[in-house]
Structure 1
Amino acid sequence: MATRKDRLKGVSVALAVLLTAIGPATALAAEKVTIFAAASLKNALDAINGEWRKQTGKESTASYAASSALAKQIEQGAPADVFISADLAWMDYLADEKLIKGDTRSNLLGNRIVLVSGSKDAAEVEIGPGFDLAGLVGNERLAMGAVDSVPAGRYGKAALEKLGLWPSLAGKVAGAESVRAALLLVSRGEAPYGIVYRTDAAADAGVKVIGTFPENSHPPIIYPIAITADSRNPDAGAYLDFVRSPKAAALFEAEGFTVLE
């Protein structure tokens, strides 16, 4: 007759076999989808992630920063499932390094860049060649994303160069680590003016849009999306489909984005 010790041993072995069979799959299925997204997407993507949870019962987590910083983190092995960049360049960077799944890549959104002021009484301006933005800024600083790495800063510099305004402004720029950081400089009164995305300006009641840069003054503002090459999350594809869905499109448009798909 089997002893109590033998019976307990048998139960332990059976449990071990069962956990080996279903444990990893169960853990994987319950894993959150991790999204690395440009800082300018925070409001829209927070709403979309909430809707994803409501409709699917599944969880996601988003990390927001400059596209440059996120791309470098992915390159260094950060565990992201989905990357949404604020420009094509940083997605191309990861594609060249074989760090995204190319067949999942698409152009998701468009945006505009605007000039904002921290004063509600600031007069609206017409932005074009000959516009004296340097005179408007005076001895203060113009807040922008870092022009050598942050997409919003790159778009802003390209526009200023195209309009012939960059030489008079290069020494006045306060480069920030992300477009949201540049927005805060204006909102908090640390810089009188800034160049940010239209969607960021709409998300901060502390700033006023006083002018919009002509679309032909800079490269098209495109947000591409893709699943990372290292992602093994079985929900990543479904999440990507949801972000491209009409429901998500409405939430993006509510924040001022142009949906490209």
Structure 2
Amino acid sequence: MTAARGRRLRVFVTGASSGIGAALAREYAARGAVLGLLGRRGDALRELAATLPSSSDHHIYAVDVTDHAALAGAASDFIAREGGADIVIAGAGVSAGTLTERPGDLSRFAEIFAINVTATVATFAPFIAPMKQGTGTRRLVAIGSVAGIRGMKGAGAYCASKSAVHTYAESLRLELQPHGIRVVTIAPGYVDTPMTRLNRFPMPFLMPADRFAAAAARAIDAGRSYRVIPWPMGIVAKLLRLLPNVLFDALFVHAPQKAGKVAP
């Protein structure tokens, strides 16, 4: 994908301090993009930026995505400095095992939804009006998960939040399609990140983060509405969606559960 003639691609990424967000930042930096890197940990963002091509060109925003005013301020700063954004990736996300009856897990549900769902909305919101005035490449990228396709025991908050991301992005896609803005949903399977390293169960088709980022960038380039990565997990996801509830329940009622610790 290329930006307008004579101009570098402008990419704004949340959750850039680790995991999928950092991998996507490295992928786009290698393609020559200028980046807005947003995450809670400024030191990790600076360490990442120092390893990227044209390291001094990138913009660092040490911001918690649940601070919507600070997030909007970072977006406005990036737009002012670079004249807009071509690609915005809502990559911030957390995961944790949850049980509805467990004391304290109501607040964990709220935290997971605030970061995975509401912050995705808050990430996109400041960019939409400028993108409507623009031309060429315009992508809003929501990071969902195959976990959003069926609910798994002990992961109600995470599964439900990622399902909400998928549905929200679908609604937004319809709203923005007449304006030439593509909304892309990427649903990762198992990607080797700090989040998945907490899992204590087999992870089929586990994918290195750099390979995931390259595949995701290709889907974003193409403006795909929805893509599961890696592709074998896409087949598994479709089969899971088609399973009748009685069979799904029988197969997964004894499946292992997520760890209780919140993982970025």
TM-score by length of 2: 0.26
Q: Say which structure, 1 or 2, has more relative contact order (CA 8 Å, 6+ apart).
A: 1
Q: Which has the higher strand share?
A: 1
Q: Whose radius of gyration is greater, 1 or 2?
A: 1
